[in-house]
Amino acid sequence: MTVLTPLDTRLAAPPTTTGRRRRGWRNGLTIVAFLAPSAIPLAAFVLYPMIQAAWISLHRWNLISAMQWVGFGNYTKLVADPKTRAAFGHTLFYVVGEIPLVFVGGLALALALNARLKGRSLLRGVYFLPVVTSWIVVALVWRWLLNPAVGVVNHVLALVGIQGPGWWTDPRWAMPSIILASAWKDLGFVMVILLAGLQSIPEDVKEAALIDGAGPWRRLLSITLPLLSPQIFFVVVISLINGFQVFDQVYAMTGGGPAGASQVVVQQVYDLTFRYSQAGSAAALSWLLFVVILVITLLQTWGQRRWVHDA
Partner 1 sequence: MSSTDTLVPPRVVARPAATARTGRRRRPWMAGVVLTLGAVLTAFPFAWMIVSAVKPRSDSVAYPPHLLPSHVTVQYFTQLMRQMDFGRYLVNTLGVVLISMVGLLVMAMAGYGFAKFSFRGKEPIFFLVLTTMMIPVQVTMIPTYLILNGIGLTNTLVGIALPTLVSAFGVFLFRQFMTTIPTEVLEAARIDGAGEARIFAQIVLPMSRPILAVQVVLTFITGWNSFLWPLVIASDQGLYTLSVGIALLNQQVATNPSLQMAAAAVMVVPVLVVFVVFQRHIVQGFALSGLK
259 binds partner 1 (CB under 8 A): no
Q: Which is nearer to partner 1, 69 or 144 (CB)?
A: 144
Q: Which of 170, 223, 229, 248 lies at the binding interface for partner 1 (CB under 8 A)?
A: 248
Per-residue binder mask for partner 1 (CB under 8 A), 94-113, x = binder: ---------------x--xx
128 binds partner 1 (CB under 8 A): yes
Query: At its nearest, how many Å lie between partner 1 and the CB of residue 187?
Result: 8
| CB-facing half-sphere around the CA of 124: CA atoms within 13 A | 21
Query: At its nearest, how many Å lie between partner 1 and the CB of residue 50?
Result: 6
**Residue 79's closest CA among 256, 284, 219, 230?**
284
Q: Which stretch binds partner 1 (CB under 8 A): 69-77, 86-94, 170-178, 278-286?
A: 278-286
Instruction: Answer yes or no: are the C-beta atoms of 105 and 187 closer than 8 Å.
Output: yes
Q: Which stretch binds partner 1 (CB under 8 A): 72-80, 83-91, 171-179, 248-256?
A: 248-256
117 binds partner 1 (CB under 8 A): yes
126 binds partner 1 (CB under 8 A): yes
The residue count for binding partner 1 (CB under 8 A) is 117
Q: Which of 102, 179, 180, 289 lies at the binding interface for partner 1 (CB under 8 A)?
A: 289
Q: Which is nearer to partner 1, 111 or 175 (CB)?
A: 111
User: Roughly what angle, to the nearest 10 degrees, separates helices 225-244 and 279-307?
Assistant: 170
Query: At its nearest, how many Å lie between partner 1 and the CB of residue 236?
Result: 12
Per-residue binder mask for partner 1 (CB under 8 A), 17-36, x = binder: ----------xx-xx-xxx-
Instruction: Answer yes or no: are the C-beta atoms of 243 and 95 closer than 8 Å.
Output: yes
β-partners of residue 59 are 69
Instruction: Give burial (CB, 10 Å; 0-12/13-18/19+) of 304.
Output: middle
300 binds partner 1 (CB under 8 A): no
Query: At its nearest, how many Å lie between partner 1 and the CB of residue 205?
Result: 9
Per-residue binder mask for partner 1 (CB under 8 A), 142-181, x = binder: xxxx-x-xxxx--x--------------------------
Distance CA 128, CA 188 (A): 4
Residue numbers 38-97 binding partner 1 by CB under 8 A: 38-39, 41-42, 44-50, 52-53, 56, 63
Contacts of 269 (CB under 8 A, 6+ apart): 282, 285, 286, 289
